[in-house]
Protein backbone atom coordinates (compact mmCIF):
# COMPACT_ATOMS: atom_id res chain seq x y z
CA UNK A 1 0.00 0.00 0.00
CA UNK A 2 1.31 3.44 -0.88
CA UNK A 3 1.51 5.73 2.12
CA UNK A 4 0.24 9.26 1.48
CA UNK A 5 2.32 11.92 3.15
CA UNK A 6 0.35 14.56 5.05
CA UNK A 7 0.03 17.86 3.26
CA UNK A 8 2.30 20.63 4.49
CA UNK A 9 1.16 24.09 3.43
CA UNK A 10 2.43 27.28 4.99
CA UNK A 11 0.78 30.63 4.31
CA UNK A 12 2.55 33.98 4.56
CA UNK A 13 0.16 36.83 5.13
CA UNK A 14 0.47 40.62 5.23
CA UNK A 15 -2.31 42.25 7.23
CA UNK A 16 -2.93 45.98 7.03
CA UNK A 17 -5.93 48.13 7.80
CA UNK A 18 -7.20 51.71 7.88
CA UNK A 19 -5.05 53.01 5.03
CA UNK A 20 -7.32 56.09 4.81
CA UNK A 21 -6.11 57.22 1.41
CA UNK A 22 -6.91 60.91 1.32
CA UNK A 23 -5.83 63.69 3.67
CA UNK A 24 -4.73 61.45 6.62
CA UNK A 25 -2.59 59.12 4.49
CA UNK A 26 1.19 59.40 4.85
CA UNK A 27 2.84 58.67 1.46
CA UNK A 28 6.18 57.49 2.86
CA UNK A 29 4.36 54.97 5.04
CA UNK A 30 2.16 53.38 2.39
CA UNK A 31 5.03 53.45 -0.09
CA UNK A 32 7.13 51.60 2.50
CA UNK A 33 4.56 48.84 2.88
CA UNK A 34 4.24 48.57 -0.89
CA UNK A 35 7.99 47.93 -0.97
CA UNK A 36 7.73 45.36 1.85
CA UNK A 37 5.00 43.46 0.00
CA UNK A 38 7.05 43.42 -3.19
CA UNK A 39 10.19 42.29 -1.37
CA UNK A 40 8.70 39.54 0.79
CA UNK A 41 6.30 38.09 -1.82
CA UNK A 42 3.48 37.27 0.59
CA UNK A 43 0.98 34.62 -0.41
CA UNK A 44 -1.88 36.87 0.73
CA UNK A 45 -2.35 40.57 1.43
CA UNK A 46 -5.42 41.18 3.59
CA UNK A 47 -6.81 44.70 3.96
CA UNK A 48 -9.43 44.93 6.69
CA UNK A 49 -11.28 48.05 5.63
CA UNK A 50 -11.14 51.85 5.55
CA UNK A 51 -9.12 52.13 2.37
CA UNK A 52 -10.54 55.66 2.00
CA UNK A 53 -11.09 58.61 4.31
CA UNK A 54 -14.27 60.15 2.92
CA UNK A 55 -15.28 57.61 0.28
CA UNK A 56 -14.19 59.84 -2.60
CA UNK A 57 -13.40 58.52 -6.05
CA UNK A 58 -9.78 59.70 -5.97
CA UNK A 59 -9.18 57.97 -2.62
CA UNK A 60 -10.61 54.71 -3.92
CA UNK A 61 -8.51 55.03 -7.09
CA UNK A 62 -5.30 55.30 -5.04
CA UNK A 63 -6.40 52.32 -2.98
CA UNK A 64 -7.01 50.37 -6.19
CA UNK A 65 -3.48 51.20 -7.31
CA UNK A 66 -2.18 49.83 -3.98
CA UNK A 67 -4.13 46.60 -4.49
CA UNK A 68 -2.98 46.19 -8.08
CA UNK A 69 0.64 46.67 -7.07
CA UNK A 70 0.33 43.89 -4.49
CA UNK A 71 -1.24 41.63 -7.11
CA UNK A 72 1.59 42.35 -9.55
CA UNK A 73 4.02 41.34 -6.80
CA UNK A 74 2.39 37.91 -6.83
CA UNK A 75 0.09 38.16 -3.80
CA UNK A 76 -3.55 37.23 -3.64
CA UNK A 77 -5.49 40.16 -2.17
CA UNK A 78 -8.62 40.07 -0.04
CA UNK A 79 -10.26 43.31 1.09
CA UNK A 80 -13.48 44.27 2.87
CA UNK A 81 -15.14 47.67 3.38
CA UNK A 82 -14.69 49.80 6.48
CA UNK A 83 -17.12 52.37 7.82
CA UNK A 84 -15.22 55.19 6.04
CA UNK A 85 -15.79 53.38 2.73
CA UNK A 86 -19.57 53.31 3.10
CA UNK A 87 -21.83 56.20 2.05
CA UNK A 88 -24.26 55.62 4.93
CA UNK A 89 -26.21 58.80 4.14
CA UNK A 90 -27.56 57.09 1.03
CA UNK A 91 -29.74 54.81 3.17
CA UNK A 92 -29.93 55.84 6.86
CA UNK A 93 -31.97 53.29 8.83
CA UNK A 94 -33.00 51.63 5.57
CA UNK A 95 -34.55 54.71 4.00
CA UNK A 96 -33.09 55.02 0.50
CA UNK A 97 -31.10 52.63 -1.65
CA UNK A 98 -28.84 50.39 0.47
CA UNK A 99 -26.87 49.32 -2.61
CA UNK A 100 -25.87 52.96 -3.20
CA UNK A 101 -23.84 52.90 0.02
CA UNK A 102 -21.25 50.66 -1.64
CA UNK A 103 -21.42 52.00 -5.20
CA UNK A 104 -17.98 53.64 -5.28
CA UNK A 105 -16.37 50.83 -3.30
CA UNK A 106 -17.71 48.26 -5.76
CA UNK A 107 -16.68 50.37 -8.74
CA UNK A 108 -13.08 50.95 -7.71
CA UNK A 109 -12.16 48.23 -5.21
CA UNK A 110 -14.21 45.05 -5.57
CA UNK A 111 -17.75 44.21 -6.60
CA UNK A 112 -17.88 41.56 -3.88
CA UNK A 113 -18.07 43.14 -0.41
CA UNK A 114 -17.79 39.71 1.24
CA UNK A 115 -15.14 37.90 -0.80
CA UNK A 116 -13.87 34.38 -0.19
CA UNK A 117 -10.28 33.40 -0.93
CA UNK A 118 -9.05 29.81 -0.96
CA UNK A 119 -5.38 28.97 -1.27
CA UNK A 120 -3.44 25.85 -0.36
CA UNK A 121 -3.71 25.43 3.39
CA UNK A 122 -5.99 28.40 4.21
CA UNK A 123 -9.51 29.69 3.62
CA UNK A 124 -10.27 33.39 4.04
CA UNK A 125 -13.88 34.56 4.43
CA UNK A 126 -14.66 38.26 4.27
CA UNK A 127 -17.51 39.64 6.39
CA UNK A 128 -18.91 43.12 5.84
CA UNK A 129 -19.34 44.61 9.31
CA UNK A 130 -19.74 48.15 7.93
CA UNK A 131 -23.47 48.31 7.33
CA UNK A 132 -24.06 52.04 7.61
CA UNK A 133 -26.55 53.60 9.99
CA UNK A 134 -28.80 50.75 11.15
CA UNK A 135 -30.98 50.25 14.22
CA UNK A 136 -29.13 47.08 15.25
CA UNK A 137 -25.84 48.95 15.69
CA UNK A 138 -27.20 51.82 17.81
CA UNK A 139 -25.65 52.57 21.19
CA UNK A 140 -26.33 55.21 23.83
CA UNK A 141 -23.41 57.20 22.42
CA UNK A 142 -24.47 59.50 19.57
CA UNK A 143 -20.96 59.58 18.11
CA UNK A 144 -21.30 55.86 17.40
CA UNK A 145 -23.85 56.54 14.63
CA UNK A 146 -22.65 54.75 11.46
CA UNK A 147 -19.38 53.86 13.27
CA UNK A 148 -20.20 50.65 15.15
CA UNK A 149 -20.08 47.40 13.19
CA UNK A 150 -22.64 44.63 13.07
CA UNK A 151 -22.74 41.01 11.93
CA UNK A 152 -26.04 39.28 11.17
CA UNK A 153 -26.92 35.67 11.83
CA UNK A 154 -27.25 35.21 8.08
CA UNK A 155 -23.63 36.33 7.63
CA UNK A 156 -22.51 33.84 10.27
CA UNK A 157 -24.42 31.05 8.53
CA UNK A 158 -22.80 31.98 5.21
CA UNK A 159 -19.31 31.98 6.75
CA UNK A 160 -19.98 28.57 8.32
CA UNK A 161 -21.06 27.18 4.95
CA UNK A 162 -17.95 28.53 3.25
CA UNK A 163 -15.65 26.95 5.84
CA UNK A 164 -17.49 23.64 5.57
CA UNK A 165 -16.56 23.58 1.86
CA UNK A 166 -12.87 23.78 2.76
CA UNK A 167 -10.47 21.00 3.63
CA UNK A 168 -10.66 19.92 7.27
CA UNK A 169 -7.04 20.95 7.92
CA UNK A 170 -7.25 24.38 6.29
CA UNK A 171 -6.62 27.39 8.52
CA UNK A 172 -9.91 29.27 8.87
CA UNK A 173 -9.52 33.03 8.67
CA UNK A 174 -12.17 35.77 9.00
CA UNK A 175 -11.44 39.21 7.48
CA UNK A 176 -13.61 42.05 8.80
CA UNK A 177 -13.22 45.70 9.71
CA UNK A 178 -14.45 46.24 13.26
CA UNK A 179 -12.51 45.08 16.31
CA UNK A 180 -14.37 42.50 18.46
CA UNK A 181 -11.96 43.03 21.39
CA UNK A 182 -11.95 46.25 23.41
CA UNK A 183 -9.07 48.55 22.47
CA UNK A 184 -6.45 49.20 25.14
CA UNK A 185 -6.52 52.99 24.73
CA UNK A 186 -10.01 53.50 23.32
CA UNK A 187 -11.60 51.09 25.82
CA UNK A 188 -14.24 50.45 23.17
CA UNK A 189 -15.43 47.55 21.08
CA UNK A 190 -15.88 48.35 17.42
CA UNK A 191 -18.53 45.65 17.01
CA UNK A 192 -21.93 45.04 18.60
CA UNK A 193 -22.69 41.70 20.26
CA UNK A 194 -19.04 40.70 20.49
CA UNK A 195 -19.60 37.70 22.76
CA UNK A 196 -22.16 36.23 20.37
CA UNK A 197 -19.88 36.76 17.40
CA UNK A 198 -16.75 35.36 19.06
CA UNK A 199 -18.78 32.40 20.29
CA UNK A 200 -19.96 31.73 16.75
CA UNK A 201 -16.38 31.91 15.49
CA UNK A 202 -15.36 29.34 18.09
CA UNK A 203 -18.21 27.06 17.06
CA UNK A 204 -17.05 27.14 13.43
CA UNK A 205 -13.40 26.62 14.46
CA UNK A 206 -12.05 29.95 13.24
CA UNK A 207 -8.29 30.11 13.76
CA UNK A 208 -7.64 33.77 13.03
CA UNK A 209 -9.60 37.03 12.76
CA UNK A 210 -8.08 39.96 10.86
CA UNK A 211 -9.55 43.36 11.76
CA UNK A 212 -8.70 47.01 12.32
CA UNK A 213 -10.85 50.09 13.06
CA UNK A 214 -9.36 50.84 16.51
CA UNK A 215 -6.22 52.51 15.09
CA UNK A 216 -4.07 50.70 17.64
CA UNK A 217 -2.21 47.47 16.99
CA UNK A 218 -3.07 44.46 19.15
CA UNK A 219 -2.87 40.68 19.11
CA UNK A 220 -5.22 38.72 21.36
CA UNK A 221 -5.91 35.07 22.02
CA UNK A 222 -9.55 34.40 22.90
CA UNK A 223 -9.86 31.06 24.66
CA UNK A 224 -13.15 29.24 24.31
CA UNK A 225 -14.31 25.86 25.54
CA UNK A 226 -14.25 24.51 21.98
CA UNK A 227 -11.40 26.39 20.31
CA UNK A 228 -9.19 29.41 20.81
CA UNK A 229 -9.24 32.23 18.26
CA UNK A 230 -6.41 34.66 17.51
CA UNK A 231 -7.42 38.28 16.86
CA UNK A 232 -4.97 40.30 14.76
CA UNK A 233 -5.88 43.99 14.98
CA UNK A 234 -3.73 46.02 12.61
CA UNK A 235 -3.07 49.68 13.32
CA UNK A 236 -3.52 52.48 10.81
CA UNK A 237 -1.27 53.62 7.97
CA UNK A 238 -2.06 57.31 8.38
CA UNK A 239 -1.58 60.23 10.74
CA UNK A 240 -4.62 59.12 12.76
CA UNK A 241 -2.93 56.56 15.02
CA UNK A 242 -4.41 56.42 18.49
CA UNK A 243 -2.48 57.94 21.39
CA UNK A 244 0.36 59.11 19.19
CA UNK A 245 1.50 55.53 18.66
CA UNK A 246 3.39 54.69 15.46
CA UNK A 247 1.57 53.28 12.46
CA UNK A 248 1.71 49.50 12.25
CA UNK A 249 0.98 46.42 10.17
CA UNK A 250 1.11 42.70 10.95
CA UNK A 251 3.18 40.07 9.17
CA UNK A 252 1.74 36.60 9.78
CA UNK A 253 2.94 33.06 9.15
CA UNK A 254 0.44 30.20 9.26
CA UNK A 255 1.71 26.62 9.41
CA UNK A 256 -0.16 23.37 10.08
CA UNK A 257 0.82 23.60 13.75
CA UNK A 258 1.13 27.29 14.65
CA UNK A 259 0.29 30.89 13.81
CA UNK A 260 2.95 33.55 14.29
CA UNK A 261 1.99 37.24 14.29
CA UNK A 262 4.81 39.77 13.95
CA UNK A 263 3.99 43.46 14.34
CA UNK A 264 5.93 45.94 12.20
CA UNK A 265 6.07 49.48 13.60
CA UNK A 266 6.81 52.71 11.76
CA UNK A 267 10.12 54.29 12.77
CA UNK A 268 10.72 57.95 12.02
CA UNK A 269 14.44 57.37 12.58
CA UNK A 270 14.82 55.08 9.58
CA UNK A 271 11.65 56.17 7.71
CA UNK A 272 10.53 52.56 7.44
CA UNK A 273 8.73 49.81 9.31
CA UNK A 274 10.85 47.88 11.80
CA UNK A 275 10.37 44.67 13.76
CA UNK A 276 8.12 44.92 16.78
CA UNK A 277 6.56 42.31 19.11
CA UNK A 278 6.16 38.73 17.92
CA UNK A 279 3.54 36.32 19.29
CA UNK A 280 3.30 32.66 18.39
CA UNK A 281 0.27 30.44 19.04
CA UNK A 282 -0.36 26.72 18.68
CA UNK A 283 -3.19 25.88 16.30
| Stronger pLDDT, 143 or 264, i.e. the higher one | 264
Residue 40 lies in a domain: yes
Adjacent-strand bridge partners of 124: 117, 173
Residue 3 lies in a domain: no
Residue 25 lies in a domain: yes
Sheet of 229-233, strand order: 116-119, 122-126, 171-175, 208-211, 229-233, 218-222
pLDDT at 6 over 90: no
Neighbours of 258 (CB within 10 A): 11
Rounded CA Rg of the chain: 18
The CATH code of the domain that includes 267 is: 3.60.21.10
Residue 51 lies in a domain: yes
Domain that holds residue 173: 11-282
Structural domains in the chain (count): 1
Stretch 188-195: mean pLDDT: 91
Q: What percent of the chain has pLDDT over 70?
A: 96
Query: Which of 134, 163, 165, 164 minimizes the C-alpha distance to 151?
Result: 134
Residue 6 lies in a domain: no
Residue 2 lies in a domain: no
Compute the C-alpha angle 186/94/195, nearest 5°: 40
pTM value is: 0.94
> Mean pLDDT of all residues in the chain?
93
How many Å apart are CA 264 and CA 33, to the nearest integer? 10
Compute the C-alpha angle 30/234/108, nearest 5°: 55
Residue 133 lies in a domain: yes
pLDDT value, residue 196: 93
Residue 21 lies in a domain: yes
Amino acid sequence: MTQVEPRVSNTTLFHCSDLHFGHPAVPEQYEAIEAIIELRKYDVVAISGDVSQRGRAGEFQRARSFIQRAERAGSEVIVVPGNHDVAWWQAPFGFGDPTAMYRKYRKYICDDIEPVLRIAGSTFVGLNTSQGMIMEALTWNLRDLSIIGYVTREQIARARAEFERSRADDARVIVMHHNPVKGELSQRHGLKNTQRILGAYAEMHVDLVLCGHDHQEAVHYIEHTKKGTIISTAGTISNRSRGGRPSSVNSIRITPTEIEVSTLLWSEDVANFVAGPVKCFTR
